[in-house]
Structure 1
Amino acid sequence: AEMPADLLQLDGQKHRYKLYYFDIKGRAEPIRLIFEFFRIQFEDVRIKFEDWPNLKKKAPMHYLPYLEVDGGKLVLSQAPAIMRYLAKTFRPGFAGQSKSDSALVDMYGEGAFEMFDVFKTIGMTPAEAREQALADARPRLEIFCETYSTHLKKNGNRYMDGDLITWADLVTVFVLSGLDDLANRILVRYPDLCRYYLRMRDIDELREYITANWKATTITLKD
């Protein structure tokens, strides 16, 4: 994601970032979103599946995604840890304003990452068995939607941390795009969550990237 120099902001691009993942969205997509949100340049290294066995030993924990900062001075694995690090680097409060806020942001951010793993399992299921896999996952999907919808209502239907966008919102909008794609008939039963999802897709910082890189939404809501 190459950005014009005049758009760089906040930490002034004092650091160089290199993100490694497969050439898919997956667990790296929320990390790409946070770079996009703050208009921070980074090198988006897309690894071919067939090359991964030979590169695995280089990766911390032998796991993707991982992030190199400043040529390897810091190397981080685990997507939630990367998100927290970048959030704290790019804007105070993007990981939560207080200890309690940060804990809630962690809870909802990591909960969304767990839900992504459910979608990954469904997506990797052979087409003829996918409906059954979706039916098996339905209780978890409904709990996710109910929990996040209730939390948003409590927050005035703004963001996961009240009026402030945090890294948890970037993970959540990505996971909701999976519901949009695979199980929109579940998602549409939660209109507040749908409105949040459509609003997050359309915020100024993400609109261009999402339009260019994600499928168009299937969700339409009547006012």
Structure 2
Amino acid sequence: MTSTAQRLREMYDRLMTGLGPQNWWPGDNTLEILVGIILAQNTRWPNAQKALADLKQANLLSVTALLDLPDERLAALVEPAGHVNLKVRRLKNLAAYLRERFEDDVESLKERPIATLREELLAIKGIGLETVDLILLYACQKPVFVVDAATFRILQRHGLADEAMTYDELLSFFMDHLPHEVLLFKEFHALIARTGREFCRKQPLCEQCPLCDWGHRNFTTED
């Protein structure tokens, strides 16, 4: 195991010890997870969860319902998640993809190779790199790590990344130094997201953070 791999493993172990399993992503089936990921864009999970519950209660959590439902009705249901017009379009774009490529058989999404699926999902208007990788990991059970703003912030503050790193470079940093295990990737990303939300904020709460005494300030990307 390289020193970089050891550092990442230590980071994971500290977060898991301090915060425990996160058990992401909640959902009864693949479509529910997909919709939840779209609704969670740029909002807190409880807001997305409320919108998702409203869709389920109305029995409208299906590809056909998402495509056929008038925009105004769908907007009213997803309103708790915010950014309503954007999310209506993204949900309908995703549903159109599922209809065109899979004839509404959402579970068959998991059978696509990672590279093919990533390329197809990135072609859907309004779905970017982070959202695509969330879909690959949590909805499709693919061993693809997910990096977000919290990942950049935490690793920069601990000397493991610099501001010039791109999304794909930081993604490769994790992919190159961790075993490709779906459960590990799920928990690690979820733990990082929670740490960024609760501790490693713009104004950090370092003394309360599970990583408070975790250093590695002399790390270089050549390690």
Normalising by the residue count of structure 2, what TM-score does the alignment of the two structures yield?
Answer: 0.32
| Higher RCO (C-alpha 8 Å, min separation 6) | 2
Higher strand share: 1
Structure with max Cα Rg: 2
